[in-house]
């Protein structure tokens, strides 16, 4: 169940040896979507940091500068949302063959569209020359009560915000057909991959959620991480996984299994959280009021394993984790 990729094992090695893993003196380091440090008054700052490299995380031909800017912001804001935080400040480093004012302007327009929509201010950064495009964002948010991965308890409802799998289908289409044809055939899926929308209302759940994280690597992998951190397991139900119409159409045309894509596909930047079962309706209602579909997809179990019950009631192991653009290529 806890199969780690080479990359994850390597990051673990670095984190164990050199970084603060877990918490000390009110500081939380590596192991969740964000680090947590003391903030003003009763608040805490949640901080996340992501690096995106050309040809590892994206191909220049597949994503416009505007979309790349948007996605860079969305990915980091989603990590803030994954701790029930609200983003405040962004620090943007951009390396590129220098200076391409037009590209850079497009990138910043996309970045700021997403940041502005989420009330986030660029407060610093760096612009440097590099052979390939590289982006690093550090986003600082605030959280009245950060929600960690480790707070899931047996009996909790497993809740999902968003409709998973659409981004993965979008990437599949882009890789198979190229940008133009993919966009003509599956515009919604391509958009979901290139310009994901983070779940910004997650802070409303701060007193109701036990555990929380954003879904960047797919339900399968991320739910396993949440369970591992909580020392628990989970059972999800196949027929409760929400599948959007665009994904259904794609799977029907391409002969794919929508549930498999929905469970294993990453980069949707939805949200997984747990809550006491009696609160699942309140939580779903709060999200719905903010335009976010929120579905109960299963429950937390005592035994440390994660599985799915299919439509016939049979246990099925969860499919292997999501491979991002670069992994899929190499």
- Site residues (vs a copy of itself, CB under 8 A): 6-7, 10-11, 13-14, 17-20, 27-30, 34-35, 37-40, 45, 47-53, 55-57, 88-89, 91-95, 98-99, 101, 104-105, 108, 111-112, 121-132, 134, 136, 138, 140, 326
Closest to a copy of itself by CB, 122 or 204: 122
Other Cβ atoms less than 10 A from the Cβ of 8: the count is 15
Closest to a copy of itself by CB, 69 or 319: 69
Q: Where are the beta strands (DSSP E) in 84-242?
A: 86-96, 121-129, 134-143, 157-161, 209-215, 233-237
To a copy of itself, the closest distance from the beta carbon of 11 in angstroms equals: 5
Question: What CA–CA distance (Å, rounded) separates 316 from 330?
Answer: 28
Question: What CA–CA distance (Å, rounded) separates 62 from 281?
Answer: 40
Closest to a copy of itself by CB, 138 or 301: 138
Closest to a copy of itself by CB, 26 or 255: 26
Do the beta carbons of residue 237 and residue 308 sit within 8 Å? yes
To a copy of itself, the closest distance from the beta carbon of 215 in angstroms equals: 18
Other Cβ atoms less than 10 A from the Cβ of 128: the count is 10
Find all residues with CB under 8 Å of 7, minimum gap 6, and list them.
none
Closest to a copy of itself by CB, 91 or 305: 91
To a copy of itself, the closest distance from the beta carbon of 258 in angstroms equals: 30
Other Cβ atoms less than 10 A from the Cβ of 237: the count is 16
To a copy of itself, the closest distance from the beta carbon of 328 in angstroms equals: 13
To a copy of itself, the closest distance from the beta carbon of 214 in angstroms equals: 15
């Amino acid at each position: 169940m806890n199969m780690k990729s080479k990359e994850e094992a390597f990051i673990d090695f670095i984190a164990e040896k050199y970084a603060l893993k877990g918490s000390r003196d009110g500081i939380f380091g590596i192991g969740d979507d964000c680090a947590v440090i003391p903030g003003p008054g009763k608040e805490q700052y949640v901080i996340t940091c992501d690096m995106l490299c050309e040809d590892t995380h994206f191909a220049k031909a597949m994503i416009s500068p505007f979309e790349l800017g948007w996605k860079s912001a969305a990915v980091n804001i989603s990590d803030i949302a994954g701790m029930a935080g609200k983003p405040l400040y962004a620090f943007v480093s951009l390396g590129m063959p220098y200076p391409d004012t037009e590209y850079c302007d497009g990138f910043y327009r996309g970045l700021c569209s997403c940041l502005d929509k989420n009330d986030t201010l660029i407060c610093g950064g760096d612009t440097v020359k590099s052979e390939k495009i590289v982006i690093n964002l550090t986003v600082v948010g605030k959280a009245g009560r950060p929600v960690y991965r480790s707070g899931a308890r047996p009996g909790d409802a497993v809740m999902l915000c968003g409709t998973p799998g659409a981004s993965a289908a979008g990437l599949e289409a882009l890789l198979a057909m190229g940008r133009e044809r993919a966009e003509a055939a599956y515009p919604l899926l391509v958009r979901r991959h290139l310009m994901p929308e983070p779940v910004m209302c997650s802070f409303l759940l701060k007193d109701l959620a036990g555990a929380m994280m954003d879904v960047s690597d797919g339900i399968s992998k991320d739910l396993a991480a949440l369970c591992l951190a909580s020392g628990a397991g989970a059972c999800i139900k196949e027929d409760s996984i929400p599948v959007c119409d665009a994904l259904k159409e794609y799977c029907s045309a391409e002969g794919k299994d929508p549930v498999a894509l929905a469970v294993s596909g990453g980069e949707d930047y939805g949200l997984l959280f747990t809550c006491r079962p009696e609160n699942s309706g309140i939580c779903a209602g709060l999200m719905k009021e903010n335009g976010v579909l929120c579905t109960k997809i299963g429950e937390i179990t005592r035994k440390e394993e994660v599985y799915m019950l299919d439509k016939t009631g049979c246990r099925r192991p969860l499919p292997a984790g999501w491979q991002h653009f670069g992994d899929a290529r190499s």
